[in-house]
Copies of this chain bind each other. A is one copy, B any other.
């Protein structure tokens, strides 16, 4: 067993950390809480800096302009980028584009790569992923209602979706729709690329999430598809394989989410420690002298260390034996780390008192926005059931 990080990886991480500390975090007060059109130019300048540093698109292979990292190195970098809300965006590794790029890379036709992947990888356009039906349990893919019916050389799409994150300002949308209603449950749906401004795509609204409709990349659209027609060549991957592609998309994604959350945890812990060291609570007594605060710090530290170790192990399993082998570990990290995230941020917020409720620190932002961590990409409940089945299966097998 070896937990060391190579010198070259360490160097890469240090460079990213310095960028996060020196360029991104100081910008937070300026960009957070503002509309996307107002901050996009500034973020684009940061992206230009990242490109110059040679750290653009860490999730992509070198041949399409990325850093060509192993999954482990990408995971470690995700932790660094996660320490600030616009970290991933600045490095060109933000959801939902990152997942779409990975799909296009693996399953896209040459034409799709040229038209969609290339500008996306260059950061020239944005994309989105339109999966969750309105009024249908997203945790159960077999309930999917949106349909895409083949009509000659086209598909005709109808449906009502929401949480199509980042639709606002995007160039195209990967839509999940039922193409094969008679097929076996998991082989009914397909992914189809739809230009975001295609006729029949109705933008209902950006759903207000935690008090904000948001805008641009930071938004979650509700969309209606009314007889939206796209060429059959826009099918991404084989017909009926939508769920399988989605699983492929989500597997590594969960590892990077978890490491991003751990970046948030590190940031929260750092803020908590600094607050404890600087805040006087009585004559000569600092917050850091209070045992309750010390215990929060110690509980955070241990939970972060435990979560981080297990995520790295899952990344190693994926790197070494493939994601199918890592499936159970990935299920576990999803709910375990999301729980750690919620508790760590909550403790840090409490230690800040009234200040913690304000947007004068980044904690309130993480507190409300990242509540979703226990919900998106499969809620806790779904992953727990899956892990339990795996454990029970092993117990049965071992007699």
* Chain A contacts to B: CB under 8 angstroms: 1-5, 33, 72, 132, 137-140, 142-143, 162-163, 207-212, 220, 269-270, 273-274, 276-277, 279-282, 288, 290-295, 297-303, 305-307, 309-310, 312-313, 316-317, 320, 329, 332-333, 335-336, 349-350, 353-354, 356-360, 364-365, 367-368, 371-372, 374-376, 379-381, 383-385, 387-392, 394-396, 398
Contact = CB atoms under 8 A, between A and B. Distances in A.
A140 to B, nearest CB: 6
A305 B297 CA distance: 22
A312 B307 CA distance: 13
Given A291-B292, A306-B310, 14 more contacts: A1-B4, A1-B5, A143-B282, A210-B210, A211-B365, A273-B391, A273-B394, A291-B385, A300-B391, A301-B388, A302-B335, A302-B387, A303-B336, A305-B332
- Sorted nearest first, the 4 A-B pairs with minimum C-beta distance are A273-B395, A309-B309, A294-B388, A298-B384
Given A132-B354, A209-B359, A387-B297, A1 B312 contact: yes
Contacts of A1: 2-5, 72, 312, 316
B313 A392 contact: no
A264 B67 CA distance: 44
Nearest to A70: B1
B357 A316 contact: no
A313 B379 CA distance: 29
B210 A357 contact: yes
Contacts of A374: 350
A310 B273 CA distance: 22
A124 to B, nearest CB: 30
Given A2-B2, A375-B350, A392 B277 contact: yes
B281 A137 contact: yes
A362 to B, nearest CB: 12
Contact of A210 (B209, B270, B364): B364
B391 A269 contact: yes
Given A301-B387, A309-B309, A329-B305, A138 B354 contact: yes
A358 B376 CA distance: 13
5 contacts: A137-B353, A142-B282, A269-B391, A306-B309, A367-B368
A352 to B, nearest CB: 9
B395 A359 contact: no
Given A274-B395, A295-B384, A374-B350, A368 B210 contact: yes
Contacts of A357: 209-210, 371-372, 375
A338 B365 CA distance: 21
Contacts of A269: 391
A208 B33 contact: yes
Contacts of A280: 137, 143
Contacts of A143: 280, 282
Task: Name, among A3, A298, A300, A309, the residue most crowded by chain B CB atoms within 10 Å (CB to CB).
Answer: A298
Nearest to A354: B163
Given A281-B140, A392-B276, A210 B207 contact: no
Contacts of A364: 209-211, 368
A279 B379 CA distance: 15
A211 B291 contact: no
A353 B368 contact: no
A20 to B, nearest CB: 13
A382 to B, nearest CB: 10
